Copies of this chain bind each other. A is one copy, B any other.
Amino acid sequence: MRLHRLKRLFVGSPLPTAQQRHERLGKATALAVFASDPLSSVAYATEEILLVLILAGSAALSYSLPIGIGIAALILIVITSYRQTIRAYPQGGGAYIVAKDNLGVFPALIAGAALLIDYVLTVAVSVAAGVAAITSAVPQLLPYRVGLCLLAVAGIAVANLRGVRESGKIFTAPTYVFVVSILAMVGWGVGGAAFGLLPAAPYAPHAPGLEGIGVFLFLRAFSAGCTALTGVEAVSDGVPAFKPPEAHNARIVMAWLGAISVAMFLGITYLAYDLGIVPGGDETVVSKIARRLFGTGVAYFEVQAVTTLILLLAANTSFADFPRLSFFLARDRFIPRQFATQGDRLVFSNGIVILAGLASVLVVVFRGDTQELLPLYAIGVFISFTFSQSGMVRRWLRLKEEGWAWRMWFSLVGAVVTGIVLVTLAATKFMEGAWIVVLLIPALVGLFLTIHRHYDTVAAQLSLEDVAPPPPLDGTILVLVGDLHRGVVRALQYAQSLSPTAKAVYVETDPERTHRLEQRWGKWGMGVPLIVLNSPYRSVLGPLMDYIDQLQRQRGDNHVVTIVLPEFIPAKWWQQLLHNQTALLIKGQLLFHKNVVVTDVPYHLKH
């Protein structure tokens, strides 16, 4: 009861089904909603590239430019490719759906597992990066990093459990302010550098590196930057949320998204190069850039604040994506069906709670450190890219819709490029933590298949198909008594109301007590005959089971024995601890006994 009130306080009152409605998003709002996740990666993608390059000395940092351009090209390829998917799946074409539709169940499950993992990582990475933006500005908060991350996860989870009704409005302002802030910063930086308006950079000699810049290090830096692509697939999942014509609007938003993404990512990467930013320490690269350009003033704090905000919104998008994918997987019976039921606030509460729990575990295990989390990230999303684009290739070839020939090429290029990046990612990040994801995906797929098989066998065992209606049942009612009190008297009356042939059973552990019971039975036995069973081991259960077995052997298969248990219910829950749990034990034991039904007859105490 207490727990119930606590839940209401945080989550709010239940909502009727009739209130379910589908908010449709205009293009500008939709861009804000779907962009927070892909755009927020600007906050860490450049930094990741630099952190790899610095291993070859600060002179190697300039390689960030070609890498940045490569990643920008990758973004454009993926975006173009997904615009084809949107056209084909106006009802929403997430990787799981597209793969299941065109490649079969197994690839779909791989994509599903990869995405579930990535959604959890999105929450952990975004929250950790958001907190890093805070601690870059206020280093005194550094020791509370993990606590702040957990607080953020919990806050977002509670907001989602309540159901974020006006989600579009929440997103619009921070997203556009973020885009404007970052682009303004880039403009200020590039312009200032061109006209020599910036404060002079502190002298920093080029530090020697630990290793030479080789192909592997270059590829590792490229892989590290691929986190910039996470989240671009979100638009294709959410096409039905657009105002009509849905697919058309979604394709336009996708194009905008690509352009803004590339502009911001290239801008930050160029600024970091141009200002000679050296990554590392407890301050993020974006914070270093902003501090160099603006000093530690209002403009600097504005950039940090809006970066934090956009990262928290990015984490929030997973709280829509994860429960939605869980719903599809649960509907197809690959994960427990509890994920398919809406809570009383019309949201998929189980998915939200599980996501928050898993993300919290990650935050604690990796101590809220973005750098440690990122190597696990992006693998999942590239698996989903590759499977989704491959599925589209199959689809164009199969259906041969209008313009299929040249559209197929877009998808094919997307599939091949993302496939190559995927292999690069797995290879270069394997030792740093990607192995966890590589092992986890087949384990999850195995779990999905096991669960699916279980649901199938249950359905087969419960099915009424080709079954003849069974013959009627008959039964015996036995009241288990250990004493005589008001609760027992009530149970005896109840048994009598069910059947005039009900009997009472008493397990004897002490002959003297039996004697006393038998003496009082005349007045209080309610006319129910009393059977006394002997118990040499003081166990109540053993003799009872023997008696039931004997009864069932006599009466055959259609005979059900009902055990009526008198149970008094204390007024307060803690008082239950002061009484023997014999009833619970007996129920537990008899649950697995064929043709036995156990019925508690509660007697409620008042204080």
Contact = CB atoms under 8 A, between A and B. Distances in A.
A195 interface: no
A338 B473 CA distance: 39
Listed residue (A469, A539, A602) with the most chain B CB atoms within 10 angstroms of its CB: A602
A341 B540 CA distance: 13
Interface in A468-527: 469-470, 472-475, 484-487, 489-490, 493-494, 496-499, 509, 520, 523-524, 526
A539 B344 contact: yes
Interface SS of A by simple majority? mixed
B524 A497 contact: no
B605 A458 contact: yes
A16 interface: yes
A580 interface: yes
A22 interface: no
Nearest to A535: B17
Contacts of A17: 509, 536-538
Contacts of A217: none
A597 B605 contact: no
Contact of A498 (B14, B498, B575): B498
A11 to B, nearest CB: 14
Interface stretch (A112-120, A254-262, A279-287, A459-467): A459-467
Contact of A493 (B344, B470, B579): B470
B607 A602 contact: no
A534 to B, nearest CB: 11
Interface stretch (A383-391, A434-442, A449-457): A449-457
23 contacts: A14-B537, A15-B537, A17-B509, A17-B538, A336-B579, A337-B579, A344-B538, A454-B575, A457-B605, A458-B570, A458-B575, A461-B607, A462-B568, A462-B603, A463-B486, A464-B486, A464-B489, A469-B526, A472-B493, A472-B497, A562-B599, A594-B604, A597-B602
6 A-B pairs with least C-beta separation: A462-B485, A16-B536, A599-B599, A473-B497, A336-B578, A473-B493
Given A458-B568, A494-B597, A498-B499, 13 more contacts: A14-B539, A15-B537, A16-B536, A336-B578, A344-B537, A454-B570, A464-B485, A464-B486, A464-B520, A475-B497, A569-B592, A592-B604, A597-B602
Interface of A: 14-18, 336-338, 341-342, 344, 451, 454-455, 457-458, 461-464, 467, 469-470, 472-475, 484-487, 489-490, 493-494, 496-499, 509, 520, 523-524, 526, 536-539, 560, 562, 568-570, 575, 577-580, 591-592, 594, 597-607
